[in-house]
């Protein structure tokens, strides 16, 4: 059974033994180590990425929140860190650090980057051009951004686009997405990670700049 479900149900078989001289049927696959999961992610294994998120997502969020003191920013930091992990897994060297340490370093760095970004944003003065209608300009900018995002979403594979649209436009959680789409939670998470990674590239190519 995958470790992706948030509330796994353990089925007890205590007291049941295989007949003498016979091997148990359907032995449970051994749990992969953190290092093995990172190695699998380096081979573009999306399920392995989902397993890593299941193991470290809560710890990663706690670390990010401790630094940022903001729930939304902490979620952004974790998401962007795992996207970076997906891209950088091939550079991991187990002889240099434990997989958990290596992984949480990405979360820490991204959280610190967001702190600096927010501090810089708060110190920048807001200058409105004279004679301009700021309301009309802002509306035009937002409309242009929506069109760029919608075009980029259309270019994603359906299995990546659908959960992203349902999450951001429908407000569904990843657990609700797994139920709605009849997919394991780990699969939903990994598809969203890779889909958001591709979306980031498409938006950058289109000249989209986040606020």
pLDDT above 90: percentage of residues in the chain: 9
**160-172 pLDDT tens trace:** 888 888 887 677 7
Q: 31-123 has which CATH code?
A: 1.10.1740.10
Domain ranges of the chain: 31-123, 143-211
Q: Is the pLDDT of residue 128 over 80?
A: no
Global pTM value: 0.51
Report yes or no: 41 and 52 within 8 Å, Cβ to Cβ.
yes
* Pairwise CA distance, residues 211 & 124, whole Å: 13
**38-69 pLDDT tens trace:** 999 999 888 888 889 889 988 999 998 998 88
The half-sphere exposure of 55 on its side-chain side, counting CA atoms within 13 A, is: 19
Q: What is the mean pLDDT of residues 115-134?
A: 61
Contact residues for 7 (Cβ-Cβ < 8 A; gap 6+):
none
Q: Is the pLDDT of residue 11 over 60?
A: no
pLDDT of residue 69: 87
The SS3 call for residue 60 is: helix
Please give the CATH topology (third level) of the domain spanning 143-211. Arc Repressor Mutant, subunit A (1.10.10)
């Amino acid at each position: 059974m995958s470790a992706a479900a948030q509330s796994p149900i353990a089925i007890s078989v205590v007291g049941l033994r295989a007949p003498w001289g016979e091997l148990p049927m359907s032995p449970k696959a051994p749990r992969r180590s953190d290092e093995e999961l990172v190695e699998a992610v380096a081979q573009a294994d999306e399920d392995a990425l989902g397993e890593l998120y299941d193991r470290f997502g809560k710890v990663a969020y706690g670390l990010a929140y401790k630094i940022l003191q903001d729930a939304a920013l902490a979620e952004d930091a974790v998401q962007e860190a795992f996207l970076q992990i997906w891209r950088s897994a091939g550079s991991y060297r187990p002889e240099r650090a434990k997989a958990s340490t290596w992984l949480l370093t990405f979360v820490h760095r991204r959280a610190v980057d967001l702190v600096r970004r927010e501090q810089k944003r708060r110190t920048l003065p807001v200058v409105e051009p004279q004679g301009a209608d700021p309301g009309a300009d802002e509306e035009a900018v937002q409309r242009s951004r929506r069109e760029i995002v919608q075009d980029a979403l259309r270019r994603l594979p359906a299995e990546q686009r659908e959960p992203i649209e349902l999450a951001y436009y429908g407000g569904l959680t990843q657990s609700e997405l797994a139920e709605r789409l009849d997919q394991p939670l780990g699969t939903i998470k990994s598809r969203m990670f890779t889909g958001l990674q591709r979306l980031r590239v498409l938006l950058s190519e289109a000249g989209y700049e986040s606020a």
